[in-house]
Each structure stands twice: as C-alpha cells, then as structure tokens.
Amino acid sequence: MLTHFAAALGVLGLLTVLPGPDMAVVTRSAIATGPRDALRTVAGITTGLLIWGALTVAGLAAVLAASPAAYLAIKFLGAGYLMFLGAQALWQSRRAAHASSDAGTRLAGRGLWRTGLVSNVLNPKIIVFYTGLLPTLAPPHLPAAWSMTLLVLLHAVLSVAWLGSYVFLLSKAGRVLEPSRTRRALGRATGVALIGLGLALATASG
C-alpha cells in the first residue's frame, strides 16, 4: 500500500508543478496586488479543487465528463475566462507606470479568491483528471470513496505547498520586479500567456 501511495504522490506532485493556468493566474495576482493577495488566489484555486473533488466522490463529475454538451460549456467558459484575465493583465500593465494607493490594492485584492476559484472550477482538465486518472491512483485496499477523498486532499495540500512557495519566490524577487518597466513587461508576458492558455483550451480536442 505504501508503494502505491508513493506512486500516487509522485504523479500528483508532477501534475501539480507543471506550468498551467493556475500558475499564470497566481502570477497575474502577484504582479497586480502583491504576494498577500496572490495567496488569496491560491486559496480560491484550492477551493476549486476541493469542489471538483467532492463532485467526483459524489459521482457528479463523471456525469459531467460523460455529457459532451456540459463538457463543451465548461471548456469554452473556462477558455473565455482565461482570455478575459489575460486581456485584463495586458490592460493593467499599461497602467503599471502610474502609482496606485494601498486602498486600491486592497480593493483589487478582494476579488482574487473568486478569480482563483472561477478559473479552477471552469477548467475542464480538472474533470478529466479527477474522473479519468485519479481513480487509477486510488489505493486498492481502501473503500473507493475514502481513497478518492484521500487523493483529493493530497492534491489540495500539494497545490497549496507548490503555489504558496511560488508566491514566496515572487515576493523575494520583489526588488527585481520593482522597476515599472520590469513589472509592465512581466504583466504583458503573463497576459499573453493567459490568452494563449485560453486559446489552447478552446481549440483542444476532447
């Protein structure tokens, strides 16, 4: 059982650290409002994982995955949301040269938990992962519901640890990112990456 658990941990860890929408959304939040608010985005992403995990354990995620119409709806909504966030990041990069008040930063930070949540809930890759791959990683000696719950919680913990560490590294790079030109360039790059991820999601087969 320990060998099976170690294999599952390795697969989940690899899938967690691969760059994707989560890292792009967290980067956008860190650039726009700072590391503290970026952690709110991480919390939103983790909440989205737990929601999909609960739906998977309840069997609802498999129903959605088996419905082409529902899957396409989530797919295009998710792609559109990523492209919206990318366009927003590009717009914010144009205003990066202007000084912003702390109050404005706090106001912007209030919606970052929701941003992480929505971007994750509208990610159809999570449906495929939780209904296709995750059951194959479940320890065979435990009841199916308990096994899936354990793996979902493990994935959530790994996501918090990885994305939290990523935010910490971004905060340590604050001096490098301090010049407005650097922040604008990184903001544009993040915006382009989000739009590219949205386009890739919209045009992906399956």
Report residues of the chain scoring pLDDT below 70: 1, 95-110, 174-183, 206
Q: What is the per-residue pLDDT across 85-108, written as a single tens digit (0 to 9) for each? A: 889 888 877 765 554 444 444 445
CB 127 within 8 A of CB 74: yes
164: Cβ contacts below 8 Å, ≥ 6 apart: 39, 42
Q: What is the DSSP letter of 133?
A: I
pTM over 0.75? The answer is yes
Task: Please report the pLDDT score of residue 109 as a whole number.
Answer: 55
Task: Please report the pLDDT score of residue 48 as a whole number.
Answer: 94
Task: Please report the pLDDT score of residue 134 as a whole number.
Answer: 85
Q: Which amino acid is at 42?
A: V
Q: What is the per-residue pLDDT across 15-33, written as a single tens digit (0 to 9) for each? A: 899 888 899 999 888 887 7
182: Cβ contacts below 8 Å, ≥ 6 apart: 176
CA distance 132 to 127: 8
Q: In which element (H, E) is residue 172 found?
A: helix 144-172
